[in-house]
Structure 1
Amino acid sequence: MKWFKHVSPKVTPQSEPVPGKPTVANSAGGYSFAVDDWKRLDRFLVLGSEGGSYYATERKLTVENAAAVVACAKADAAEAVRRVVAVSDAGRAAKNDYAVFALSLIAANADAVGKKAAYEAVPKVCRTGTHLFQFAAASDALRGWGRGLRQAVADWYVNKPVRDLAYQMTKYQQRDGWSHRDLLRLAHPKTDFTGRNDLFAWAVGKKPTVDEVPPDGDLAPLYALEAAKKATTEDEIVRLIRDYRLVREGVPTNFLTSAKVWEALLANMPLTAMLRNLATMTRVGLLAHGSDAVKAVVGQLTDASRLKKARVHPLSLLVALKTYESGKSARGSGEWVPLKEIVNAIDDAFYLAFQAVEPTNKRWMLALDVSGSMGGGTVCGTVGITPHVASAAMALVTAATEKDRTFVGFSDRLVPVGIDAGMRLDAAVRMIEAIPMGGTDCALPMLYAKDNKIPVDVFAVYTDSETWFGKVHPFQALKQYRDATGIPAKLIVVGMVSNGFTIADPGDAGMMDVVGFDTTAPAVMADFARG
């Protein structure tokens, strides 16, 4: 009578389905639970599919996620649109591209009411000219130009304040093979306002010229752009930047090596642009030890309200930190000497960019999946930011909040990790990157805590859920831990890849999925931990 062990729902090898549980084969040859289309939508909006994953190409991952978005659009388009807007408007994702694409998918596949909801959301999701070009490109490929799409694009041009529209049209003139000229000719926006019509005329190659544009008022960005084309000295460029808010995209290339020009740009530079240009401003000599420019940059990076208003995402800060600290461009030959003040400020900004979290005073085990699959692919297509790296960075947010927490890294074996709240972000990431990678056994954190009698209230496992190596499934290991210790421990699965799998049992109220690198995730995790 030993046959029962082959069909017991209490102990099942991860390479086999669990009797009586809705497990499905994952990409690694093991079995996990499938997430539903709504969870897949949430993952895609935050993590995207750019760069693919260890097991799936970018194309395969995109096709799978697009199918989930379409399924949500057909099930409840209004809710699908609401989720897209919620992620986009709050800056919960590092890139808005996925929200724009999802919105175009909803508009192309929903019923008439759903299409209307999607088109009404265009100005909330497509806030910049670049977003609008992306939406147009996706919509054109998915279904062509119907009346609803034309009206949505026309409304974008007609309803923006003229000064804002002038800024958008001069800063973002063309992207993804589309220009304002293309969109205006397709959408035919109608307006009686002279200034708005002047912008439309300029975009399609007609008047006004710089001599016909007033140097103040709503069209000042257009005046500055056209005047910059005729400038011959850096003083002229500086004047246009200071007096008329000439954007960096409008500065002729030959003036972009001038510290004086960059000093003028810095005065009103958006935070996201400032992050992208830290290396350049250091290289040209504007950012130097103890300079006023450095003080200004540090002040902005460590201002939580500014970070939130500018929708600066933690992942953008992680990328900026790794790039700036390296002292060398990943795509070109540029080099610079990183300044400690800037590096420290980016490190501080990383934690500030997440939604504020209050300590739960629970006992946490932060378990980082460092298996081979976590080292493949990228998060949001960012160079050098694998799920492996991203999970380490995100776990530090909880570590900085909670006093009682244990760090472990695991693949086919588990090792304690000496990370503490006082450790710098870059140092912690290097420590995680140094752990040897192997197969995946997501049950190890719970088994390790049980065997070593470690009291844990919350296991937070950062993983792609492609588990296959262990002799027992993760949710079974959690049940063993609960039974052995009497602690009603919870499991939070932090999904680091937008695939369709999770190790959390959907039938257990003590387990929850969250999306990795969603700016609201740490706060949601804390709420769940409190009950």
Structure 2
Amino acid sequence: MKWTKHYQTARTPQNQPIPGTSQKANNAGGYAWEVGDWIQLDRFLILGSEGGTYHVSEQKLTIENAEAVRRCIEQDGIRTVKRIAEISESGRAPRNDPALFALAMCAGFGDQQTRKAALEALPRVARIGTHLFHFMDYVQGFRGWGRGLRRAIADWYNQKDVKALAYQAVKYRQRDGWTHRDALRLSHPKAQSDAQQKLYRWITQDEFAPAEGLEIVDAFRQAQTASLKEVVGLIEKYRLPREAIPTEFLTRPEVWEAMLPHMPLEAMVRNLANMTRIGLVTPMSEASRLVVRKLGSSEAIQKARLHPIKVLAALKTYQAGHGMRGQERSWTPVQPVVDALDAAFYTAFGAVTPTDKRIMLALDVSGSMECGQIAGVPGLTPRVASAAMALVTAAVESQHMVTGFSAANGGYGGQWGGGDPGMTPIKISPRQRLDDVIRTVAAVPMGGTDCSLPMRYALKENIPIDTFVVYTDSETWAGRIHPTQALQQYRREMGIAAKLIVVGMVSNRFSIADPKDAGMLDVVGFDTAAPEVMSDFMLQ
């Protein structure tokens, strides 16, 4: 009998753990390593849990992530608060809701020092009125309205300049069933100036008295009964935001034209379809030139914390020419705007250092990657989003190849010919527009998940690779050899100390990277810091 047929560390089916390792059963029936709570904290803060995954419901995934956050709080509450604030402030996450939820957990579950730190960090994480209302909604799930929470909410208001606070009161009037009136009545802040006192009185009692810094409030009040011409004048003079404009005027090009020059970059990106549909952003128009100019400013993109996911979502929607609900609200995309959005996607990641290494960018295009949503963006699955993220590295690296991998349902190969079974060379490059890339990847056939395929393919075809970058959910199960074993075999037979970077595209607990192997690294998909971290690791 050949005993190693049933038990060995060089080649083990993925539905069994590698002997002597700490592998755990993943959600697909295969085995992988569990990431630590701190890595899962990062995954949750950046990717969220909206929509769940192919194998895990939204409810279960959220509970798993919340439990990881709770364990981080128990291990080191101060470190948890600092990490939440760091990722939120730096704009590394596409949405701030997970950070606000995790901060609310710190304010509820933490010890006295952690609760104090969480409430002190509130202005750093809740930077606008919407954030504050989200936090207030979340925190009620973990604690009552004690003195510390009331003081933190009061400080959020009192520490702001009165002009900035007036803008918040006009632009973010209510969210999640909360209003500024609710917040002020619960927290009882003591006004720091006469102007601030007048602002609080307007918010809580709708009694307005003019004061320096409250001009935007007066303009907002006037706009509610003004004519179209008067509204345009108020926008130009006081920079009224869209939320302050009566609904009946939001279909008028003159109104959007007045708002566009001072419109925040994220709001502009979000409203490109509206401005095109009503006839403001048209080919050769001054408005389209202004949009392109604003999207072309790397300084403005970084200052606005415009996350690549938001650019990608806007590009995906704008290029389609219609909303998610169908054709009734359609528009004709302006090509220079499409091109500017495409370029802004790369800019939003910041500078990435080229390594001149030989890199395989391997996209998991299996069926499980087609489910769920990246950061809650409808239609943006991990499968297509991973292709967009791979192009960030491809754009700066001279030696790279892009492949897609997926095993057949039985786990023994692909459903199409060419190369190693299950491997499909994907003809995409940074020279293509992102919408074209997304369509190309979406057309690749799907099957089971076998994350050993990139290494096996490179070995079979004798392709020299310094770093394999695998974009996956790590729900691998279909192969006759584990990915880490395939990498070790590649290293031995090719004589190359190849590295493996695993880009986690969902916020589950699993990774194909062996935590004991210094040549393997886990990063979080669509973390804006990830491409530069990957470059640093390749150069080590």
User: How high is the TM-score relative to the length of structure 1?
Assistant: 0.98
Where structure 1 has 5 or more consecutive residues not aligned to the other structure, the ranges are none
How big is the shift at 1:206?
3.5
- Give CA deviations for 1:286-344 in whole Å, capped at 9, x if unaligned: 11111111111001101111000001000001100010011111146311110001000
How big is the shift at 1:451?
0.7
Tell me the residue number matched to 2:309.
315
Contact between 2:387 and 2:441, CA under 8 Å: does it hold in 1?
yes
Among 355, 377, 381, the residue aligned to 2:350: 355
Contact between 2:109 and 2:142, CA under 8 Å: does it hold in 1?
no
Q: Structure 2 counterpart of 1:83, which letter?
A: R
Q: Secondary structure at the match of 1:218?
A: coil
Runs (4 or more) in structure 1 with deviation over 4 Å come to none
1:97 and 2:97 equivalent? yes
Tell me the residue number matched to 1:200.
200
CA distance in 2, matches of 1:56, 1:475: 24
Among 225, 250, 255, the residue aligned to 2:249: 255
CA distance in 2, matches of 1:61, 1:192: 44
How big is the shift at 1:58?
1.1
Q: Secondary structure at the match of 1:436?
A: coil
Deviates more, 1:500-509 or 1:56-65: 56-65
Deviates more, 1:199-208 or 1:396-405: 199-208
1:505 and 2:496 equivalent? no
Among 416, 421, 437, the residue aligned to 2:446: 437
Contact between 2:472 and 2:503, CA under 8 Å: does it hold in 1?
yes
Contact between 1:94 and 1:313, CA under 8 Å: does it hold in 2?
yes
Q: Structure 1 counterpart of 2:243, which letter?
A: E
Q: Secondary structure at the match of 2:214?
A: helix
1:33 and 2:33 equivalent? yes
Q: Secondary structure at the match of 1:15?
A: coil
Tell me the residue number matched to 2:362.
367
Q: Secondary structure at the match of 1:394?
A: helix
Contact between 1:224 and 1:245, CA under 8 Å: does it hold in 2?
no
Q: Mapping of 1:48-447 within 5 angstroms? A: 48-208=48-208, 212-214=209-211, 217-231=212-226, 233-331=227-325, 333-412=328-407, 413-447=422-456
- Give CA deviations for 1:110-151 in whole Å, capped at 9, x if unaligned: 111111111111000000000000100001122121221111
CA distance in 1, matches of 2:206, 2:312: 44
Deviates more, 1:285-294 or 1:481-490: 285-294
- Give CA deviations for 1:77-119 in whole Å, capped at 9, x if unaligned: 1111111111110111110111111111111111111111111
Among 482, 487, 497, the residue aligned to 1:478: 487
Q: Structure 1 counterpart of 2:530, which letter?
A: A
- Give CA deviations for 1:397-434 in whole Å, capped at 9, x if unaligned: 00101010011101101111112231221111111110
Q: Secondary structure at the match of 1:450?
A: helix
Q: Secondary structure at the match of 1:367?
A: strand
Contact between 2:158 and 2:192, CA under 8 Å: does it hold in 1?
no
CA distance in 1, matches of 2:159, 2:192: 12
CA distance in 2, matches of 1:199, 1:20: 66
CA distance in 1, matches of 2:429, 2:155: 51
How big is the shift at 1:5?
3.0
- Give CA deviations for 1:349-374 in whole Å, capped at 9, x if unaligned: 00000021121000000000000100
Q: Secondary structure at the match of 1:130?
A: helix
Deviates more, 1:497-506 or 1:280-289: 280-289
How big is the shift at 1:171?
0.5
- Give CA deviations for 1:236-271 in whole Å, capped at 9, x if unaligned: 011111111111101111111111110001010000
CA distance in 1, matches of 2:396, 2:325: 36
How big is the shift at 1:192?
4.0
Q: Mapping of 1:446-525 within 5 angstroms? A: 446-525=455-534
Q: Structure 1 counterpart of 2:206, which letter?
A: K
How big is the shift at 1:453?
0.5
Contact between 1:5 and 1:11, CA under 8 Å: does it hold in 2?
no
CA distance in 1, matches of 2:467, 2:210: 62
Q: Structure 2 counterpart of 1:376, which letter?
A: C
Where structure 2 has 5 or more consecutive residues not aligned to the other structure, the ranges are 408-421
Contact between 1:355 and 1:522, CA under 8 Å: does it hold in 2?
no
CA distance in 2, matches of 1:20, 1:72: 27
Fraction of identical pairs, as percent: 54
- Give CA deviations for 1:167-222 in whole Å, capped at 9, x if unaligned: 111111110111111111111111241111122112223311xxx335xx311221
How big is the shift at 1:230?
1.4
Q: Secondary structure at the match of 2:343?
A: helix
CA distance in 2, matches of 1:234, 1:484: 74
How big is the shift at 1:35?
0.5
Deviates more, 1:475-484 or 1:233-242: 233-242
CA distance in 2, matches of 1:434, 1:234: 48
Q: Structure 1 counterpart of 2:508, which letter?
A: N
CA distance in 1, matches of 2:284, 2:111: 59
- Give CA deviations for 1:2-29 in whole Å, capped at 9, x if unaligned: 1123221111100001111110000001
How big is the shift at 1:54?
1.0
CA distance in 1, matches of 2:389, 2:487: 23
- Give CA deviations for 1:359-398 in whole Å, capped at 9, x if unaligned: 1000000000000100001111101100001101000000
Contact between 2:166 and 2:216, CA under 8 Å: does it hold in 1?
yes
Q: Secondary structure at the match of 1:204?
A: helix
Deviates more, 1:24-33 or 1:198-207: 198-207
Q: Structure 2 counterpart of 1:298, which letter?
A: V
CA distance in 1, matches of 2:192, 2:371: 54
CA distance in 2, matches of 1:257, 1:139: 37
Matched length: 525
CA distance in 1, matches of 2:512, 2:53: 18
Q: Structure 2 counterpart of 1:213, which letter?
A: P
CA distance in 1, matches of 2:125, 2:430: 36
CA distance in 1, matches of 2:428, 2:269: 27
